Structure 1
């Protein structure tokens, strides 16, 4: 039986980061992945393919928009197969970085198969191989959650794992779930000519975002997609080559039948833990997730859980961060606490949504109205966005009374790029005023954030005691 210092189960972002980091520090590492290719959901079904599709769809959308504005004529339909080929090429290019050969070159034993715990220090792989480890990392990710409604097992529905195999755009598509994944892909597919209807249980989109930001995105999306809010999927029927779904309004109980050509299930995610045999290792779970402490340890201190399986923040960059922390905690026993305080995320709709830290509502609830400041700038007042004729959006920064950043939010074209500066500032304890002192080239999109920060100094310099003091000084200086 092979024995290892660290056994990593799962070859996605978290698992690869932990395995590579541990091996580079001299640990003997085994990496077990059930699929033949490494890279996980992000590379094959998530971040990479979705962004490749989004970029292609945006190019098509912009071409139509520009043609209409400049009096040009565009003929024919955009071929979604070309976009899917771009998706495939992107995956293949990045796959080289996540190849078996690369990780084996780092001294890691890469094993293909599904792992099941035999006890707290031993796992068995599907080929019958048993592996013993001092410490383990569970990094098996998540998969689409499929609600068990009547008839769902009789139709060929799409998920994020199959939608990138489309050869042609369906004429009509229903999307179950108005979360980030559902909306990013819905908007993209619609730009290839599909009539898309989104079924969402809540009364509005983006319930966790600033209200103005959510409203801005929703207004834009409603120009491209149809929505049924406060609604649930009740039944699915197959009629010839069409799918008929029964949708019920949760408030009124009104039932409606929609006929579509494709059904995209995007109702959430579930952690991949069913076949791990966690009960054999004494690892506790709660609501389907592996329970971890602030050091990412499970109920068994030598077994760690990172990424989507622990239910903290289901993002690839968070999984990578947790993977790095594992190297310190699992390999060296440093016991560093995980913190999500300075972790941002982006929703890649068009326009994009950027989120960091507390919202205004959360900040007021935590610190009190009198202890926070809010600085907001509309993009229609920022020269570069005016020049681009793309002024829909805003920046909002929440601070304490001394200017320390509590949260930052934005909506606008490529907001995920030009808001990164404030992540650095918040991570390193800078105040909002410090961003105002950074010299930015003119005209750039980053001026939106700088001008928001300028408001801090404008308030300091032109309100309160400072103007009176400076007025006296100027008179004396003359």
Structure 2
């Protein structure tokens, strides 16, 4: 619906020639679209991405869905197998399970939601595992059909080599995203890409061709809508206003809209320790249930984790699992984008009581060395580390 509104707006704009067709380069600064050749001195590439389809035996002979097609179905499937264990798999798994579908997620990575902190992934797997089946460290090697017409997925345990079979009404492939360069053909326009076809840009988001700019999923860096929004501003400053604004990814946030909800920004613990050393990193944690609002909501085990640099208390990262995680993380994001990026304003500001924002405040008030943090996590809180 939103996309249709955008299309109508573009097609009726007096200063825009809108072509609802794929475009491809035929020469530098020249594109072919709908049989026409279009030239431009300045080009913005916002070509997005598409679902990555792994080379699984039999997959092309069986009807399957991707994130582009799954919401177009007319009838709720009674059972669904999701190939992939990242945030797309998690979100659709949560959605269809909530609708009453029996969901099985089969992920290749040993860690469910591998982009998250291990302890957050482990807790998410435990909690989401109460209403859907999550299989990790299994590689899907074959897809077929049963005699009754159901779809069969065969996976191999990457630790033992044991083959396991799953059956369901529908299959959703959620194994990541891929570049659209096979359609765009940027190489014909003199535009360099990496081995996977993602468009290469400099720190100003300009491609290898002067005055050709790329942003969003097309560059394959952070594949989120809010990142594309930010990158479009950088391109506007540089291409149109002729400024020299460097793209800044030091505090890129994201959220996973499941139950429980997950949000993250900045470095993970291992990244911070690798860069600064264990002695120069402090970690804070606070459980929802240890605040008045969290207790009133009767939520158990969900928590906020924050990571700071020891000396100046510069915020390095924050990771949240629990209600309103995507909202709570914004308080940290805003501080990370100040000049100092310090946690001190968090200590100095008043926080409404009783409100969930106190969970974030108290996490910063409980900073400790990493080893102590893991002791508290396991021995005091009884939470899984991985």
What's the TM-score, normalizing by structure 1?
0.73
Instruction: Assess, with a 3 A threshold, how the Cα gap between structure 1 residues 218 and 104 changes in structure 2: closer, same or farther.
Output: same
Matched, 1:233 2:144: no
Matched, 1:278 2:186: yes
Matched, 1:433 2:344: yes
Q: Which runs of 5+ in 2 are unaligned?
A: 370-386
Aligned-pair CA distance for 1:106: 7.2
CA contact (8 A) 1:245 1:258 kept: yes
Aligned-pair CA distance for 1:112: 2.2
CA contact (8 A) 1:295 1:338 kept: yes
Post-superposition Cα deviations, 1:424-454, rounded to whole Å, max 9, x if no partner, equal 1110134213112222222111111122233
Q: Secondary structure at the match of 1:164?
A: helix
Q: Secondary structure at the match of 1:110?
A: coil
Instruction: Assess, with a 3 A threshold, how the Cα gap between structure 1 residues 440 and 95 changes in structure 2: closer, same or farther.
Output: farther
CA contact (8 A) 1:100 1:110 kept: no
Matched, 1:390 2:299: yes
Matched, 1:190 2:101: no
Matched, 1:348 2:348: no
Q: Distance in 1 between matches of 2:244 and 2:28?
A: 20
Alignment of 1:235-274 (within 5 A): 235-239=142-146, 240-274=148-182
Q: Which runs of 5+ in 1 are unaligned?
A: 1-90, 460-478
Q: Distance in 2 between matches of 1:105 and 1:168?
A: 37
CA contact (8 A) 1:433 1:454 kept: no
Aligned-pair CA distance for 1:395: 1.0
Aligned-pair CA distance for 1:310: 0.8
Aligned-pair CA distance for 1:103: 7.2
Alignment of 1:31-430 (within 5 A): 91-92=1-2, 95-96=4-5, 98-101=6-9, 104-105=12-13, 107-126=15-34, 128-239=35-146, 240-286=148-194, 287-400=196-309, 401-428=311-338, 429-430=340-341
CA contact (8 A) 2:10 2:18 kept: no
Bigger CA radius of gyration: 1
Aligned-pair CA distance for 1:162: 1.4
- Whichever structure has more helix as a proportion of its residues is 1
Q: Secondary structure at the match of 2:56?
A: coil
Q: Distance in 1 between matches of 2:298 and 2:84?
A: 32
Q: Distance in 2 between matches of 1:189 and 1:272?
A: 28
Aligned-pair CA distance for 1:151: 1.4
Q: Tell me the residue number matched to 2:354.
A: 443
Aligned-pair CA distance for 1:192: 2.1
Aligned-pair CA distance for 1:377: 1.0
Instruction: Assess, with a 3 A threshold, how the Cα gap between structure 1 residues 150 and 290 changes in structure 2: closer, same or farther.
Output: same
CA contact (8 A) 2:193 2:200 kept: yes
RMSD of aligned Cα (Å): 2.0
CA contact (8 A) 2:11 2:18 kept: yes
Q: Distance in 2 between matches of 1:372 and 1:257?
A: 44
**Between Structure 1 and Structure 2, how many residues are aligned?**
365
Q: Distance in 2 between matches of 1:275 and 1:207?
A: 30
CA contact (8 A) 1:433 1:453 kept: no
Q: Distance in 2 between matches of 1:393 and 1:103?
A: 47
Q: Distance in 2 between matches of 1:215 and 1:351?
A: 12
CA contact (8 A) 1:419 1:446 kept: no
CA contact (8 A) 1:143 1:270 kept: yes
Aligned-pair CA distance for 1:279: 2.1
Moved over 4 A (4+): none
CA contact (8 A) 2:125 2:134 kept: no
Post-superposition Cα deviations, 1:15-51, rounded to whole Å, max 9, x if no partner, equal xxxxxxxxxxxxxxxxxxxxxxxxxxxxxxxxxxxxx
CA contact (8 A) 1:154 1:238 kept: no
